[in-house]
C-alpha cells in the first residue's frame, strides 16, 4: 500500500478468488468451472473475431443482446451485457444502494457481495440463514434495503422456489431486488419470467458455468428498461467498451448452441447425484444442491484438514474459513472420471486420517 | 432512468464513444483505431485460448505481466493489466483522488477524465491549454491535486518533452501524477524510464492503438510497487478476473512481435506526414501531431460542416462540439489508400462548399 491511497480504502479487504494453479496434474474442483470445453460454435466465432481486433467492439453489444433477448423472451432493452457477472453486480451496488438505502444479503452467500458493498461505501445487513442453511423469505419482507440473493445460493447450492422469490420482490416495492442466477441452469427456476411484472427486479447471469466460458468473462443482467438504463449509465461512465469482440462473438456462438449447454448441464446433474450418493455412503452430510457443486462435511475430519489432504494428493476443492461453514468443503462437479477419482481419494484420506 | 437510481448519479453525463457503424463501405477515421490487423501471433494465441474458455483466466496475469516487465525493463511488481486503459484510469481516479485531493487535467484532453471524476464524486480543475493548445508545465507545479496528463495529448496530438513531464512529477511530490501514454508509440518519449525515480508516477498504456487490439480491451499501468498494490486492491474489490484468457493470450502474442508493431507505427507516421502536408496544401491549419491522428481546421468551413459533409460521403472523422475546439476535426491516420481517399473527398467538399 502506498501513502497515496485514499483514506477510505485503507481498511478495504478485497475478494479472494479460488486458487488458479498453473501446470501440473491437478483435478480442479474449487471454482465451479465447467469441465467441458466451450461450444465449437463459440470457439469458431471467437477465433474469427480475433482477426479483426484492430477495431473497437460494438459498445452496445447489439447482436449479442438480441440473441439473449430472443432466448429469454424479453426485449433487447431489457438486457445488459457485462465483463463477467461480477461487473453487473458491482454496477448494481453502485446504482441502487446509497448511504440511505443500504444492502441486505444472507450471512452465508457469495463472498463478493460484502466487498462490493465495502468498496462502494454502502452499509449492509447480513441476514442469517436458518439452521438448515436455507434463506427464510420472510426475513427479507419490507426490509427497506437493496436485496441481493444468489439463487441457487452459494456455497450451499440450495435454491429458493420461484414463489418465494416473487414474495420477496413483491414485499420490497420501493427497493431493487437482485437475483443472482449464476447457477440456475443446474436447478431451480429462473426469475426472468417476472421481469415484466416487477420493475424492481434485476436478474443477473453468467456464461462462466453452464456455458463453459469462465475464461471469456461474460455476464448479463435482465430487468425492466429503467433499471437497465441506470446500469448502462454506470457502464458508460466507467468502461463503455467493457466487452471485447472475441467474448462477444463467443457469446453469440454459445447462445446458438443451446443443445450443447443443456446436455452438459444434464451430465453435471447426473455426476452431482453420483457424487452426493458416494459422499453419503462415505459418511458425509451433503446439502441437497441445485448447482454445479455440492457442500459437504464429515463429522470425523475437519473441513480444513480434508481440504489440505486432498490438495496434497492433487485435488483442489474450496474451503471457507468462516465460522458457520468451516466444517464444510465446496466441491465443484466435474466429469464422471474426475468425480470417481475425487471419491477414491477422499476415501483414502478418511482411512488415513480417522 | 428508473426511480431506483441513486440520487448522486441522477445528473451524471456519461462518456460518448465515437460512432461504431456496422456494415456499409465506410472509411472509419474517428476512433484512432489501427488500420492494420493485429499481429498473426496475437491472432493465433487468442484462437488457441478460445478452446480452453471453460477455465477462469489467471487473475494475476502472470505471463503477460512478465512479458510487459521484460519489454519495459521493469519488474512485474511494477505492472498491472486492465480491461482497456479506461479501466486503469478509472481505478486511478478511485484510488488516488479523494474529496480532499481533487483531480487536475487540461481543459482540452481525453473527455473521459471528467466523467471518471464525476462518477467517483471527485472535484476537479480543468487547466486551460495555452493559445497554441499546448500544456504549460508550470500550471501543474505544486497544484496539490492528482494530475492526469495525456502525452501525447488528445485530441491535439501534441506531446510534452520528457523533461517537462519530469518537472511536473518532481513538483508534485505529495500527489500522484498519471501520464496517459495511449499514443506514445507514434511520437514523444515514454515516462516509464522515470518509474524507479518517482514513487508518485503512474504511466498508463493501451494495446488499442499501435498494437491493433482495440477490440481486445487491454490496458496497462506501470508504476512503483506501492501504487500498483493500491490499484490491485481496487481490481480485487471490483472484478478480479478483469482480463479474459483470449485477450491475455493475444497480448502475449502481440508483445512477442515488436517488429510488427514498430513497422506499423512507422507507416502511420509516414501517412501522418502525407496527410498533414496535403491538408496544409488544401488550406488547413494542422497542429503538429505525435499521435496516430491529426487535428485540423479550415477557415472557410466550420468543423461541424466538414464532419457532416465527409460523413455523407462515407468518411467518418471525429468532431467535438466543445467551444474552444469546435472549428477542428480529429482525423485518425489510416492506410495510405484511406488517407488519399480522405484528401480527395475533403477537396471535393471544399470545392462544393466554399
Q: For chain A, what is the mean pLDDT?
A: 97
What average pLDDT does range A65-82 have in this prediction?
Answer: 98
Q: How many whole angstroms separate alpha carbon B170 and alpha carbon B177?
A: 10
- pLDDT bin (cut points 50, 70, 90) of residue A23 is low
Which among A210, A216, A211, A191 is positioned nearest to A201, based on CA atoms? Answer: A191
* pLDDT > 70 fraction of chain A, expressed in percent and rounded: 99
* B residues 278-297 lying closer than 8 A (beta carbon) to A: none
A50·B55 Cβ contact <8 A = no
Query: Measured between CB atoms, does A71 come within 8 Å of chain B?
Result: no
Q: For chain B, what is the mean pLDDT?
A: 97
Q: Looking up cell 513497422, which residue turns up?
A: B263
Asked if B107 and B140 count as a contact pair (C-beta separation under 8 A), the reply is no
Nearest Cα residue in chain B from A119:
B237
Q: Check residue B182 and give its pLDDT.
A: 98
Summarised one tens digit per residue, pLDDT across range A130-177 is: 999 999 999 999 999 999 999 999 999 999 999 999 999 999 999 999
Query: Measured between CB atoms, does A332 come within 8 Å of chain B?
Result: no
Query: Measured between CB atoms, does A153 come within 8 Å of chain B?
Result: no
What average pLDDT does range A68-87 have in this prediction?
Answer: 98
B-chain CB neighbours of A246 within 8 Å are 46, 50, 215-216, 244, 246-247, 250
Q: Looking up cell 482525423, which residue turns up?
A: B331
Residue B147 gets the label, from left (phi > 0), alpha (psi -120 to 50) or beta, of beta
Count, residues in chain A:
354
Residue A138 gets the label, from left (phi > 0), alpha (psi -120 to 50) or beta, of alpha
Of A8, A226, A242, the CB nearest to B98: A8
Residue B188 gets the label, from left (phi > 0), alpha (psi -120 to 50) or beta, of left
B246·A247 Cβ contact <8 A = yes
Testing the interface with A: which of B41, B53, B176, B204 to mutate, by most A Cβ within 10 A? Answer: B53
What average pLDDT does range A320-347 have in this prediction?
Answer: 97
* pTM exceeding the 0.80 threshold for the entire prediction: yes
Summarised one tens digit per residue, pLDDT across range B58-105 is: 999 999 999 999 999 999 999 999 999 999 999 999 999 987 889 999
* B residues 239-268 lying closer than 8 A (beta carbon) to A: 239-247, 250
Number of H helices, E strands in chain B: 10, 12
What average pLDDT does range B219-242 have in this prediction?
Answer: 98
Torsion, Cα B124 B128 B129 B133, to 10 degrees, reads: 120
B205 Cα distance to chain centroid: 8
Of A50, A52, A83, the CB nearest to B239: A83
Torsion, Cα B104 B106 B109 B114, to 10 degrees, reads: 40
Q: How many whole angstroms separate alpha carbon B252 and alpha carbon A33?
A: 24
Residue B12 pLDDT > 90: yes
Query: Measured between CB atoms, does B173 come within 8 Å of chain A?
Result: no
Q: Check residue B23 and give its pLDDT.
A: 67
* pLDDT > 90 fraction of chain B, expressed in percent and rounded: 96
Q: Check residue A98 and give its pLDDT.
A: 84
Q: Looking up cell 436455507, which residue turns up?
A: A134
Count the Cβ atoms, other than its own, within 10 Å of residue A73. Answer: 11
What average pLDDT does range A205-222 have in this prediction?
Answer: 98
Count, residues in chain B:
354
Residue B53 pLDDT > 80: yes
- pLDDT bin (cut points 50, 70, 90) of residue B287 is very high
What average pLDDT does range B210-226 have in this prediction?
Answer: 98
Asked if B117 and B103 count as a contact pair (C-beta separation under 8 A), the reply is yes
- pLDDT bin (cut points 50, 70, 90) of residue B280 is very high
What average pLDDT does range A3-22 have in this prediction?
Answer: 90
Q: How many whole angstroms separate alpha carbon B89 and alpha carbon B204?
A: 8
A-chain CB neighbours of B148 within 8 Å are none
As given in the structure block, the three cell numbers for residue B159 are 506531446
Instruction: Identify which has the larger pLDDT, A290 or A23.
Output: A290
Asked if B90 and A239 count as a contact pair (C-beta separation under 8 A), the reply is yes
Q: Check residue A25 and give its pLDDT.
A: 84
Asked if A195 and A78 count as a contact pair (C-beta separation under 8 A), the reply is yes
Q: Check residue B18 and give its pLDDT.
A: 84
Summarised one tens digit per residue, pLDDT across range B154-196 is: 999 999 999 999 999 999 999 999 999 999 999 999 999 999 9
Rounded alpha-carbon distances, angstroms, from residue A304 to A83, A188, A321, A351? 33, 30, 8, 17
Query: Measured between CB atoms, does A354 come within 8 Å of chain B?
Result: no
β-strands A177-180, A27-28 pairing: unpaired
Asked if A209 and A222 count as a contact pair (C-beta separation under 8 A), the reply is no
Number of H helices, E strands in chain A: 10, 12
Query: Measured between CB atoms, does A111 come within 8 Å of chain B?
Result: no
Cα distance from B81 to chain A (closest Cα, Å)? 14
β-strands A284-286, A79-82 pairing: unpaired
Q: How many whole angstroms separate alpha carbon B12 and alpha carbon A3?
A: 30
Cα distance from A317 to chain B (closest Cα, Å)? 15
Query: Measured between CB atoms, does B21 come within 8 Å of chain A?
Result: no
Summarised one tens digit per residue, pLDDT across range B288-339 is: 999 999 999 999 999 999 999 999 999 999 999 999 999 999 999 999 999 9
Q: What are phi and psi of A126, to 5 degrees?
A: -95, 120
Residue B24 pLDDT > 80: no
- pLDDT bin (cut points 50, 70, 90) of residue A10 is very high
In what side-by-side order are the strands of the sheet with A328-332?
A: A284-286, A293-298, A328-332
Asked if B331 and B296 count as a contact pair (C-beta separation under 8 A), the reply is yes
Which among B294, B297, B331, B291 is positioned nearest to B315, based on CA atoms? Answer: B331
- pLDDT bin (cut points 50, 70, 90) of residue A20 is confident
Rounded alpha-carbon distances, angstroms, from residue A166 to A45, A88, A194, A206, A220? 37, 21, 8, 21, 20
B1·A230 Cβ contact <8 A = yes
Q: Check residue A19 and give its pLDDT.
A: 82
Q: How many whole angstroms separate alpha carbon A271 and alpha carbon A266?
A: 9
Q: Kindly provide the ipTM of the predicted complex, given to two decimals.
A: 0.97
Amino acid at each position: 500500500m502506498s501513502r497515496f491511497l485514499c483514506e477510505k480504502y485503507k481498511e478495504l479487504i478485497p475478494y479472494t478468488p479460488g486458487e488458479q494453479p498453473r501446470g501440473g496434474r491437478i483435478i480442479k474442483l474449487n471454482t465451479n468451472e465447467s469441465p467441458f470445453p466451450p461450444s465449437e460454435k463459440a470457439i469458431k466465432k471467437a477465433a474469427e473475431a480475433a482477426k479483426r481486433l484492430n477495431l473497437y467492439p460494438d459498445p452496445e453489444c447489439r447482436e449479442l443482446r438480441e440473441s439473449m433477448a430472443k432466448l429469454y423472451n424479453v426485449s433487447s432493452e431489457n438486457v445488459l451485457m457485462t465483463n463477467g457477472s461480477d461487473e453487473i453486480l458491482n454496477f448494481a451496488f453502485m446504482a441502487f444502494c446509497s448511504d440511505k438505502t443500504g444492502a441486505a444479503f444472507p450471512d452465508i452467500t457469495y463472498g463478493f457481495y460484502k466487498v462490493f458493498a465495502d468498496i462502494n461505501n454502502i452499509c449492509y445487513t447480513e441476514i442469517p440463514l436458518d439452521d438448515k442453511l436455507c434463506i427464510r423469505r420472510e426475513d427479507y419482507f419490507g426490509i427497506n434495503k437493496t436485496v441481493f440473493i444468489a439463487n441457487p445460493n452459494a456455497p450451499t447450492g440450495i435454491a429458493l422456489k420461484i414463489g418465494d422469490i416473487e414474495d420477496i420482490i413483491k414485499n420490497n416495492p420501493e427497493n431493487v431486488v437482485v437475483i443472482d442466477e449464476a447457477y440456475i441452469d443446474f436447478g431451480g427456476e429462473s426469475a426472468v419470467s417476472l421481469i415484466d411484472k416487477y420493475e424492481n427486479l434485476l436478474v443477473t447471469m453468467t456464461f462462466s458455468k453452464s456455458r463453459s466460458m469462465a475464461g471469456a468473462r461474460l455476464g448479463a443482467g435482465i430487468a425492466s428498461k429503467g433499471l437497465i438504463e441506470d446500469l448502462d449509465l454506470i457502464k458508460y461512465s466507467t468502461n463503455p467498451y467493457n466487452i471485447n469482440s472475441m467474448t462477444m462473438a463467443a457469446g453469440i456462438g454459445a447462445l446458438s448452441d443451446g443443445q450443447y449447454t443443456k446436455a452438459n448441464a444434464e451430465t453435471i446433474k447426473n455426476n452431482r447425484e453420483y457424487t452426493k450418493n458416494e459422499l453419503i455412503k462415505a459418511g458425509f452430510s451433503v446439502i441437497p444442491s441445485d448447482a454445479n457443486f455440492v457442500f459437504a462435511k464429515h463429522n470425523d475430519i475437519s473441513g480444513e484438514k480434508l481440504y489440505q489432504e486432498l490438495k496434497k494428493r492433487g485435488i483442489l476443492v474450496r474451503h471457507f474459513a468462516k465460522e458457520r461453514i468451516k466444517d464444510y468443503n465446496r466441491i465443484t462437479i466435474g466429469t464422471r472420471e474426475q468425480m470417481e477419482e475425487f471419491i477414491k481419494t477422499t476415501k483414502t484420506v478418511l482411512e488415513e486420517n480417522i
